[in-house]
Amino acid sequence: MSKLNYAGEYQLSELRLYSSSGNIVNLENSYQQIDLYENMYSNTLSGTILVVDTDGIIMNLPVTGQEYLGFKITTPSLDSHAIDYTKHLMSVFKIDSRVPSRGQETFVLHFCSPELLTNKRVRVSKSYTNTIDEIVVDVLENPKAINTNKTIFVEKTKGIKKLVVPNKSPYGLIKDLATDAISGETGSPNYVFFENTKGIHFRTLESLYNEPSIGDFISSDLGPIDFQKGGVMNIEQELKRVLEYQITGNNDTLENIESGMLASKTIEYDIFQKKYDVSYYNYFTDFYKYKRVSDNRGKDNPIYNDISIDENGKTMGDYSNAKIFMHPTSKDSEGNDAQHTGSYTPNDISKTISSRSAKHTELDKGVKIHMRVNGTTTLSAGATINFQIPITGKNHTDDEFDIYNSGRFLITKLRHSFIRTGTKHKVLMTVVKDSFNMELPQNIEQPNPKGNKGSVIYT
């Protein structure tokens, strides 16, 4: 196991391009930068590699957009957390930005997980009688569907479904199943489907929150130099230091009203019994129904005040007509799926659609931060980190950090950048949280925003 000499150091032990002609070229001495993208709202990994070519690779290999790319990158001293795609290769699908100069050519190769290309090529036409989690595993592993050999992280779901899949793309089917899935362990409907460097995930947000945080970060100045060790930086402190950050999202109230994050109504129409039921979602009353990123009920608080906003005494969570969901179902008198004979779980999307929509809006329009840090291969989308945000401007309290926003964050997007010059690994990531650490202060006597009643003037 090699020693880490500085924050952001990495080791590239293999980088090969496999041509459809059977030729193989080693790119270890010609690449300039590798970018690898992870996104919780994307079903696949993708990336680019910048190459400076003096051997006429594109013509001589040749490169046509149907190659495979294998690479292995390790953070020294973290060998067990290597980003290893030497067995599960990436698919090259695009050649871009070809710039010739004297005796050489610079170009960019775009690559992705081969499962994405498979998803575009095949369709699923099959009947299923099983739990949703087992259906998802079958779609991912079935030789006639995605046919992946990667590690799959799946959370058990509730109920047996009987369904017929009519010529759908595999990932389109899994996306639909995620909207109807309910955890057999926690009852949570907040399923996500994505791929990171660890594998393919079909699980709830709550199961991600149950995992321990993978790192502690703080925004601070450059760390001290240890002259006793030859004038090097304190590596541990440098790995924790956020190089730069920007708070890009913090309560878009208009968007949160329109999307139904604060309040919504769901109308479920039963086409078998010819009746409908109405249910309501209220941000404040439903706030503790499912786990939050901080995973600390005692310290999780709404990012809005539940004060009255009008003369009727209503809060922002009481206006359910702001967003109306309507969904059909088919149930018999015992609550089973009326489309089939037997005790099968009916379509229950109407029970989950409002809370799922609200949760995804919370994570996208709530507290969101873009940050850049010295990279390690342990960082991945779907993991959580702890980030202490310093107080800017005058400090009116005795606290050292932001009392509302500091704490545990979920990584939703991430880009690994492996730069050959200086052998530096940087990570740019988007992190989010869906609660405040402290309860917001309340002013019971709100000002009247309407003012006095005006006159109606006809012109």
Q: Is the pLDDT of residue 230 over 50?
A: no
pLDDT in tens, 147-194: 999 999 999 999 999 999 999 999 999 999 999 999 999 999 999 999
Question: pLDDT band at 68, cuts 50/70/90?
Answer: very high
Domains of the chain: 1-112+217-250+368-442 (2.30.300.10), 117-206 (3.55.50.20), 253-363 (no CATH)
Mean pLDDT, rounded, of the chain: 90
In sign, the C-alpha dihedral spanning 241, 246, 251, 252 is negative
Lowest mean pLDDT among 170-184, 315-329, 386-400, 407-421: 386-400
Contact 267, 324 (CB under 8 A): yes
Question: pLDDT band at 297, cuts 50/70/90?
Answer: low
CA-to-CA separations, 281 to 61, 308, 320, 358, in angstroms, rounded: 58, 17, 7, 9
pLDDT at 227: 44
Q: Is the pLDDT of residue 232 over 80?
A: no
SS (H, E, C) 201-259: EEEEHHHHHCCCCCCEEECCCCCCEEHHHCCEECHHHHHHEEEEEEEEECCCHHHHHHC
Mean pLDDT of 284-309: 86
How many other β-carbons are positioned within 10 Å of the β-carbon of residue 92? 22
Residue 14 phi, psi dihedral angles, 5° rounding? -160, 140
Distance in angstroms (rounded) separating the CA atoms of residues 363 and 303: 12
pLDDT in tens, 109-122: 999 999 999 999 99
pLDDT at 324: 96
Q: 62 preceded by cis ω (within 30°)?
A: yes
Q: Which of 108-117, 239-248, 299-308 has the highest mean pLDDT?
A: 108-117
Q: What is the pTM of this model?
A: 0.91
Contact 275, 281 (CB under 8 A): no
Question: pLDDT band at 125, cuts 50/70/90?
Answer: very high
Conformation bin of residue 147: beta by default, left when phi > 0, alpha when psi is -120 to 50:
left
pLDDT at 221: 63
Mean pLDDT of 390-395: 71
Residue 181 makes CB contacts below 8 A (sequence gap 6+) with 132, 133, 157, 189, 191
Q: Is the pLDDT of residue 229 over 60?
A: no
